[in-house]
Amino acid sequence: AAARTAGFTAPLMPGVIGSKADRLAWPAATFTVTKNDGTWRVRVEHSRGADLFVFDLESPHLLRRWERWDGTALTLRRAVRLPYWELNQPGDERRLETTE
């Protein structure tokens, strides 16, 4: 199937980490969304560069990969879906242990 692409521009505040009282700004960013091969690929061009996010096309639309503007990348290694509201007793934390 051929890729389908849509785009838009919106204000995007850069991440704020630190205790300095910096002036907050909302520079414009360009978002390009491509549907292709079972994924949504979202490219965000912003004041620092460009980020690429790759999501599953099907619900729950897991974020599979994030290629950051600084050249680093994060890749989802594992996802576990647990019945959150049912796991509230001592010992339920064992469900979080990895079984690789």
pTM: 0.76
**CA-wise closest residue to 10 among 41, 33, 44, 40:** 44
**Pairwise CA distance, residues 32 & 7, whole Å:** 4
Q: Which amino acid is at 38?
A: G
pLDDT given for residue 19 in this prediction: 67
pLDDT band at 3 (very low <50, low <70, confident <90, very high): confident
pLDDT tens per residue, range 24-73: 888 899 999 999 888 999 999 998 899 999 999 999 999 999 999 999 99
